[in-house]
Structure 1
Amino acid sequence: MDDDEVIRQLIAVNLNLEGFEVSTATDGQDCLDRVLDVMPDVITLDVMMPFLDGWTTAHRLRTEEATSHIKVVLITARAQDDDRTRGLGIGVDAYLTKPFDPAELIEVVRDLAVRGRGRS
């Protein structure tokens, strides 16, 4: 989920081209409102979003039993060590900084999707 339509579409197109089924949301609250209907293997989140930021969204995903298993990737312009540490402390599975390499995004999502499907 990214509040920037261009970035959201870039992520969706790249993942679609690699065979992933993609559902998008406009912000963190939209993500949380829809996640149980979609039950994705992986969620990409921007940190800076209106209504509910990526930190809070990731934390809520992690603390709810029904969504705690979903792999989370933060994709953000916030590249400070403190930001990475905060994300990893919340329990995100990967952290990519903007501008990101679409090939790296695909590799990360593919790896996390495979690991997510292997859960018991």
Structure 2
Amino acid sequence: MAWAYRGCVKVIPRRRAAVFTVTDAPVPMSEDIGHRQRRYLVSMGVRTACFVAAVLSAVLGAPVWVAGLLVVGALVMPYVSVVIANGGREPQPRAHFEDAQRPDRKEISGPPPEIGS
């Protein structure tokens, strides 16, 4: 910590208080869970579509590799869906504010105003 002397008075620099903004607050857990549930349901819908398409392609005489590829997609999708849904909370962008200690700004001096004055 740097100490400075001005005349006979020892000046101790004050620590700046940490400033928290409302934009630093994370998304509510209920919104995060809802978002993850929607992603999971969409991916399970894709899985169901792969399975139905595999059955239809086999019945309609499509090449075996097409039906096989759709079956593999239907088998892999549950694992991918669970991993994506349990991936944790989404990272939130942080707000960036200018530095309050720019040289062209002056500090506020004097005592705080009295109530009613």
- Could you state the TM-score of these two structures normalised by the residue count of structure 1? 0.21
More strand by share: 1
Larger Rg: 2
Instruction: With the length of structure 2 as denominator, give the TM-score of the two structures.
Output: 0.21
